[in-house]
A and B are shown apart, each in its own frame.
Chain A
């Protein structure tokens, strides 16, 4: 990757055009009352088509994607994005549909929703899904709205608290808060699992439910889920399943069977749709039978991100019932293989069998000595970029100070993973010998580490000539 320093505005030259439109017959817009018109034209760039193509091609070359290399990114499930998905999503007979067209003119699109709904129901054990949420966090919010609506419909208005484990994704408390719920934290025990004894005293008639990630953010299956589900249900609460970590359970375990009442899925994680540099995603929410009446909550403008939904459905049809069974197991195999291969170089606080991901707590030998600080998790992450790998998720979960959270997915080969292991070992050796190599990393990326403090103190958030 090479450094390219232009912004599109810097390529602008008055009089250049990149558009192709017929000439209007008049300047009729000016017949609109001047009070309703803007004083001066916007300062958009004036560039020709080739300028645009070259500029964005150059920008793309400063980016890393799944097609470039391996992302061991914990809880993000960066699996391969199949190309047939893209082909199907760009079919003109889907792209050209207006969202308000009468149902009898969009029966193909309707069939996509119906087909995906029943496929996801089969995979998760939930009854039905809503596809309106546009992302995982949006799904969380929607799911919590459904939980609150259920309690309210029963006149059970005191249930305004939601239990969230201390290992939860940071989004859980934020979603709960904007849904008007008060957060109650439940602690993890020494094994990294929800502490049932800590949970019991929290359960009363003010509890709306519990949000759980299973396997949790340490990659551990919550073994006591049966007991937890019983206790929460007995107390009148509902169980929410955060689908961020659904991948290891695809083809093996169904959240609906574990007693979960509401869940969201991230189609951009578990169901192979591309992350797009941060979106668009899709966060459908599934519910059990008794919550189906509350599924109609209006959380986005039309029918959700149809183009993403199409991709996920394509993927599931490719998998079919034969291959679906191997998604979770192969992801789990890859994770355990890495975990076992690096534990002599990286601290492994929880050694038991993991699911799709696991957490190291920094280097065993960080190279720290008199006057030389040791290499941190951030340093390891940045050094990985030099070798053509994306960084793992770092400093999360908060339970460990130097957390490196690693999730390979089922689409990575043994060769890729072996190469990653070799690089991680080399980085550990470098740290032990000369941590400065790591402090200065990355060395081969388009830029070195930027000054984030100045960026936040004196924000420059738009281009100014």
Chain B
């Protein structure tokens, strides 16, 4: 056998081990497999590469991607990542650790998850948070199931049409197989219509588990959720708010809107775009719903010597104990990404988060106003926004997108209505915005 750096066995090791087992060859260990199932052919894989060859291969691949300056959000936001974060999260004690079931040798993981839970509670205003989930859209789908499990004999969940399309799609997928009926709440003037909600509530009457509504919607509009929680609670239904946790540092919290559950994607908290993952979903709720909250939860207790210690707790809710009766089949969390978020929020602090939102607001509003000035876009909604907005294009969208892309920009994402969506985070500079505007002025004909 040729040496391979991930296999430490020498020929002598293998011989000694076979002797102890009492077989003549490694192949003999597969004698219980029907012979025609043993794969005898060459695997259709590339030849093994050296590390340098692998490196060259991927450098080559990655250079085929265009690195564009990002003026799009739609669920993935190009915020700045402090250098401390990858340094901490790449520590092998964190990244190569297993799930913290053996709490005595996992206090590092358990402590940062406890800190993460505290920060998510703080941002959402709610009482309890789980240890994180896969991503925002799946967290929203989990909230759908959680509401159905929490409200007796309920079968229907109301979903706002102003949620991002991928969030709606994942909710629909989960609902279809779980047997939940989804009713869409209409939008009016770019916002979730309270009137539509109340009219569904009065016609459906029984069996409504709750509603999922965004705090910032797919048009970038900050929604006014006054009256939503009251309408739902009057019918014993729950309110889930889908939110951007970065914006929650300044915007009204789900708890302040009267929500029972908050979910969303914590990617905007310093996680790189990374072509869509790994991100991290978050989920928090009021304490009366704790037992239906899916996923892992870390709790504080004491060890045998009375010292503060942390454990995975309330596990009796989870799939490995409840099996088919669990509200969710989720077994893991996105631990390392929760660490990413925790380190980010530690560095930013309350002042940094405020400053960041301020910068997003300034950049996005500057971009918005400059785009209007080009005469090639029109306002669609008169509505408050933070970092993302849509405009009606007065130019050909394909040409616009192509010109921007050719000049190194990713911007003007087309929405289902034919509007174009823009986003500017604190990471965008005035020069970048001016240069984007310059290209539109010069190269895109009205």
A–B direct touch in complex (beta carbons closer than 8 A):
yes
What's the nearest-Cβ distance from chain A to residue B80, in Å?
8
Checking A62, A112, A177 against B324 with a beta-carbon cut-off of 8 angstroms, the contacting residue is A177
Is there a chain B Cβ closer than 8 Å to A301's Cβ?
yes
Checking A177, A310, A329, A455 against B301 with a beta-carbon cut-off of 8 angstroms, the contacting residue is A455
A122-B43, A452-B301, A456-B316 known; A36+B329 contact, CB < 8 A: no
In the bound assembly, the distance between CA atoms of A118 and B45 in angstroms comes to 8
A7: which B residues are within 8 A, CB to CB?
111, 114-115
Checking B1, B7, B166 against A302 with a beta-carbon cut-off of 8 angstroms, the contacting residue is B166
A232: which B residues are within 8 A, CB to CB?
none
- Whether B65 pairs with A107 at a CB distance below 8 angstroms is yes
- Whether B311 pairs with A450 at a CB distance below 8 angstroms is yes
Chain A: number of interface residues, binned into ranges: 35 or more
B22: which A residues are within 8 A, CB to CB?
340
A178: which B residues are within 8 A, CB to CB?
145, 174, 177-178, 326, 328-329
- Whether B276 pairs with A391 at a CB distance below 8 angstroms is no
- Whether B352 pairs with A278 at a CB distance below 8 angstroms is no
Is there a chain A Cβ closer than 8 Å to B26's Cβ?
yes
Query: Which 7 pairs between the two chains have the least Cβ-Cβ distance?
Result: A320-B48, A302-B276, A99-B276, A276-B336, A19-B352, A65-B96, A63-B108
Flag the segment in B11-19, B152-160, B371-379, B436-444 that touches A.
B11-19
Binary CB contact string for chain B from 220 to 234 against chain A (1 if under 8 A, 0 otherwise): 001010100000000
Binary CB contact string for chain B from 16 to 38 against chain A (1 if under 8 A, 0 otherwise): 11101111001101111110011
Binary CB contact string for chain B from 84 to 96 against chain A (1 if under 8 A, 0 otherwise): 1011101111111
- Whether B117 pairs with A278 at a CB distance below 8 angstroms is no
Is there a chain A Cβ closer than 8 Å to B289's Cβ?
no
Checking B65, B88, B348, B350 against A94 with a beta-carbon cut-off of 8 angstroms, the contacting residue is B65
| Residue tally, chain B, CB below 8 Å to A | 197
In the bound assembly, the distance between CA atoms of A332 and B34 in angstroms comes to 17
In the bound assembly, the distance between CA atoms of A33 and B221 in angstroms comes to 13
Checking B72, B314, B330 against A459 with a beta-carbon cut-off of 8 angstroms, the contacting residue is B314
- Whether A321 pairs with B320 at a CB distance below 8 angstroms is no
A308: which B residues are within 8 A, CB to CB?
277-278
A194: which B residues are within 8 A, CB to CB?
none
What's the nearest-Cβ distance from chain A to residue B168, in Å?
10
- Whether A173 pairs with B21 at a CB distance below 8 angstroms is no
- Which residues in chain B, 87-128, are within 8 Å of chain A measured between CB atoms? 87-88, 90-100, 102-109, 111-112, 114-115, 117-119, 121-123, 125, 127-128
A21: which B residues are within 8 A, CB to CB?
80, 352, 355-356, 359, 426
Flag the segment in A196-204, A284-292, A405-413 that touches B.
A405-413
Known: A329-B27, A460-B301. 12 other contacts (CB 8 A): A41-B354, A65-B97, A98-B72, A298-B173, A320-B48, A326-B1, A336-B17, A353-B32, A382-B104, A411-B8, A455-B299, A461-B128
A370: which B residues are within 8 A, CB to CB?
none
Is there a chain B Cβ closer than 8 Å to A8's Cβ?
yes
Is there a chain A Cβ closer than 8 Å to B274's Cβ?
yes
A41: which B residues are within 8 A, CB to CB?
249, 350, 353-354
- Whether A98 pairs with B324 at a CB distance below 8 angstroms is no
- Whether A42 pairs with B359 at a CB distance below 8 angstroms is no
Is there a chain B Cβ closer than 8 Å to A17's Cβ?
yes
In the bound assembly, the distance between CA atoms of A318 and B303 in angstroms comes to 44
Is there a chain B Cβ closer than 8 Å to A155's Cβ?
no
- Which residues in chain A, 51-81, are within 8 Å of chain B measured between CB atoms? 52-53, 55-57, 59-68, 71, 73, 76, 78-81
Checking B64, B87, B384 against A107 with a beta-carbon cut-off of 8 angstroms, the contacting residue is B64
- Whether A174 pairs with B129 at a CB distance below 8 angstroms is no
Binary CB contact string for chain B from 57 to 81 against chain A (1 if under 8 A, 0 otherwise): 1110111111110101011101010
A-B contact count (CB 8 A): 652
A173-B324, A177-B324 known; A32+B222 contact, CB < 8 A: yes
**Chain B residue nearest in CB terms to A179:** B177
In the bound assembly, the distance between CA atoms of A277 and B27 in angstroms comes to 35
A325: which B residues are within 8 A, CB to CB?
43
**Chain A residue nearest in CB terms to B95:** A274
In the bound assembly, the distance between CA atoms of A179 and B328 in angstroms comes to 10
In the bound assembly, the distance between CA atoms of A303 and B137 in angstroms comes to 12
- Whether A38 pairs with B253 at a CB distance below 8 angstroms is yes
B7: which A residues are within 8 A, CB to CB?
323, 326, 330, 410-411
What's the nearest-Cβ distance from chain B to residue A82, in Å?
6
Is there a chain A Cβ closer than 8 Å to B189's Cβ?
no
- Whether B308 pairs with A84 at a CB distance below 8 angstroms is no
Checking A63, A180, A257, A319 against B37 with a beta-carbon cut-off of 8 angstroms, the contacting residue is A257
- Whether B87 pairs with A53 at a CB distance below 8 angstroms is yes
- Which residues in chain A, 218-236, are within 8 Å of chain B measured between CB atoms? 220-221, 223, 225-226
Checking A22, A300, A318, A333 against B54 with a beta-carbon cut-off of 8 angstroms, the contacting residue is A318
- Whether B26 pairs with A332 at a CB distance below 8 angstroms is yes
Is there a chain B Cβ closer than 8 Å to A109's Cβ?
yes
- Whether A446 pairs with B347 at a CB distance below 8 angstroms is no
B322: which A residues are within 8 A, CB to CB?
174
- Whether A88 pairs with B54 at a CB distance below 8 angstroms is yes
**Chain A residue nearest in CB terms to B255:** A38
In the bound assembly, the distance between CA atoms of A141 and B111 in angstroms comes to 30
- Whether A174 pairs with B324 at a CB distance below 8 angstroms is yes
Is there a chain B Cβ closer than 8 Å to A28's Cβ?
yes
A32-B222, A64-B93 known; A112+B61 contact, CB < 8 A: yes
What's the nearest-Cβ distance from chain B to residue A102, in Å?
6
In the bound assembly, the distance between CA atoms of A451 and B302 in angstroms comes to 6
What's the nearest-Cβ distance from chain A to residue B340, in Å?
10
A122-B45, A320-B45 known; A307+B29 contact, CB < 8 A: no
Flag the segment in B197-205, B206-214, B290-298, B389-397 that touches A.
B290-298
In the bound assembly, the distance between CA atoms of A412 and B145 in angstroms comes to 42
- Whether A84 pairs with B88 at a CB distance below 8 angstroms is no
Binary CB contact string for chain B from 377 to 391 against chain A (1 if under 8 A, 0 otherwise): 000000010100000
**Chain A residue nearest in CB terms to B330:** A137
In the bound assembly, the distance between CA atoms of A301 and B426 in angstroms comes to 24
Checking A36, A45, A112 against B384 with a beta-carbon cut-off of 8 angstroms, the contacting residue is A36
- Whether B169 pairs with A317 at a CB distance below 8 angstroms is no
What's the nearest-Cβ distance from chain B to residue A405, in Å?
13
Is there a chain A Cβ closer than 8 Å to B193's Cβ?
no
* 18 CB-based A-B contacts, threshold 8 Å: A16-B349, A20-B82, A53-B88, A67-B93, A99-B76, A144-B177, A174-B328, A280-B336, A298-B170, A300-B137, A301-B138, A314-B54, A317-B54, A321-B45, A340-B21, A447-B309, A461-B117, A463-B115
Binary CB contact string for chain A from 366 to 387 against chain B (1 if under 8 A, 0 otherwise): 0000000000000001100100
A135: which B residues are within 8 A, CB to CB?
134, 330-332
Is there a chain A Cβ closer than 8 Å to B286's Cβ?
no
Is there a chain B Cβ closer than 8 Å to A211's Cβ?
no
- Whether B108 pairs with A61 at a CB distance below 8 angstroms is yes
- Which residues in chain A, 119-178, are within 8 Å of chain B measured between CB atoms? 119, 122-123, 134-138, 140-141, 144-145, 148, 170-171, 173-178
**Chain A residue nearest in CB terms to B326:** A174
What's the nearest-Cβ distance from chain A to residue B419, in Å?
15
A176-B324, A326-B1 known; A87+B138 contact, CB < 8 A: no
Most buried by B among A19, A26, A27, A352: A19
What's the nearest-Cβ distance from chain B to residue A415, in Å?
8
What's the nearest-Cβ distance from chain B to residue A248, in Å?
9
Is there a chain B Cβ closer than 8 Å to A293's Cβ?
no
Is there a chain B Cβ closer than 8 Å to A187's Cβ?
no
- Whether A171 pairs with B39 at a CB distance below 8 angstroms is no
